[in-house]
Chain A
Amino acid sequence: MGKAFEQAAALILSGDRELWSILAVTARMSLCSSLAALALGVPLGIWLGACSFPGRRALLVVNRTLMGTPPVVCGLLFYLLFSGVGPFRRLRLLFTVPVMILAQVTLITPLVVGNLESYVTAVAPPVRETARGLGLPPWKVFLLLVNECLYPIFSVYLLAFARAIAEVGAVSMVGGGIAWKTNVMTTAIMQYTNRGDFSKAIALGIILMALSLGVNLLVSLLQGGVRR
């Protein structure tokens, strides 16, 4: 065990090329999927939180259900869609990074929507009442609402990113963990462990935990010193 940790530290410090490939694929996938989830989820979350319309409650239930989707179910769905029998087989996207991103966006967007919606539901009525009382036009009311949500948006982004780098079920099913191509940290940890290559698995595990720690430190900083 102790030896494995030593080797892990050496690997991280030596800049092992395969390790760097894994980190690069992980970064590319996680940044893309978390940013796309943010771009989709923020407007949806604000819309669901700020507007009342028939069917809103039903949409919230659907979103809450999607928030709990098991990653492997999401993986299965995208596998079927893009595999040799699926409707999108011509695109030849199975076992590529783009389809991993698609699957992750599907998993993470509901999270962004749900988090934002509950925040917006609380601030929207007073913001709207005050802003309308001042005679402000709807677009300005919307911008003021977004302005109130900047910190929640930032912290929900960090959570989305943390979820993206840590997710394994969907990514391994549609990505396949192909070395130098679709292998990300989580899938690589599984492979190395199966092969008995513990030092590499531990090295990746340490990096993952450090990233997660960093993200959560940021989130707690944000929540602690909520600068309003």
Chain B
Amino acid sequence: MNFPAFQKSYGRRTVLAMPDFALEPGRVCAVLGANGAGKSTLAKVLAGAVPADGGQRVVPARVTVGYLPQRSFPFRMTVRQNLLVTGGGRQRAEELLSALGLSPLADRRAALLSGGELARMSLARALMRPCRLLILDEPTAAMDMESTVLAEGLLQRTCRETGRTLLLVTHSLQQARRTADDALFLHRGRLLEQGPAGRVLYQPDRPETKEFLDFYGS
């Protein structure tokens, strides 16, 4: 999957300048970077939630995209209904509820969930419908370690079984090392590094990336 170069500015400030890049089908690509690096902006533009400068399409129309925003909204209904409203089917809903330990919460009102529970529901909901490219913006940031492990396993299985491409935005180096096949590293709105996770996350080229690894990897 190839994407053309694009920029995204707010007012006169360019918060993201991407060169053209590619994602390998069926693989997990982690997007790493510090707060404010432009990770969410990349996710939003690829998902079509905000237009790139000039308004051009970055993702071709034939590619179906699923997108989980960093702050996902719990619709005013129960947890199960939040999954069913996507039209993905009852069986799929029950599978996902149980895979993320949500079965006991299925009939609760979604707005009353705790932060970690809401994150699990949002992830389950995002996995309800098939798509070619799935973009998840820090899906586990609010989860405890146990749920995070469940979520990462589920994501890897889903990608392997369905062949969908996953763009996983995270600020956790550990998470990227555990789950990703490839990695992008963003720094102050620039793409500094892209390639196989084994290289980017262990032997990066750029000093900024090394610094990030030293900081988070210890």
Residues 122-157 of chain B, each 1 if its beta carbon lies under 8 Å from chain A, else 0: 000110110100010000000000000000000000
Docked Cα-Cα span, A148 to B47, in Å, equals: 24
Q: Give the segment of B68-76, B98-106, B188-196 that binds chain A.
A: B68-76
Residue B86, interface by CB 8 Å: yes
A-B contact pairs, 18 of them (CB 8 A): A126-B71, A127-B73, A129-B69, A130-B69, A131-B73, A132-B48, A133-B47, A133-B49, A133-B72, A133-B135, A134-B86, A134-B125, A134-B129, A135-B66, A135-B129, A135-B131, A144-B75, A228-B112
Q: Which residues on A sit within 8 Å (CB–CB) of B22?
A: none
A interface, CB within 8 angstroms of B: 126-127, 129-136, 140, 144, 147-148, 150, 227-228
Residue B109, interface by CB 8 Å: yes
Looking at chain B's contact residues, is the secondary structure mostly helix, strand, loop, or mixed?
A: loop
Q: Which residues on B sit within 8 Å (CB–CB) of A135?
A: 64-66, 86, 129, 131
Residue contact B109 to A228, C-beta cutoff 8 Å: yes
Residue B1, interface by CB 8 Å: no
Q: 10 tightest A-B contacts by CB?
A: A133-B67, A228-B111, A130-B73, A126-B73, A134-B86, A129-B69, A228-B76, A130-B72, A129-B49, A127-B73
Given A228-B109, A228-B111, A133 and B69 touching (CB < 8 A)? Answer: yes
Docked Cα-Cα span, A135 to B86, in Å, equals: 8
Docked Cα-Cα span, A224 to B49, in Å, equals: 34
Q: Which residues on B sit within 8 Å (CB–CB) of A133?
A: 47, 49, 66-69, 72, 126, 135
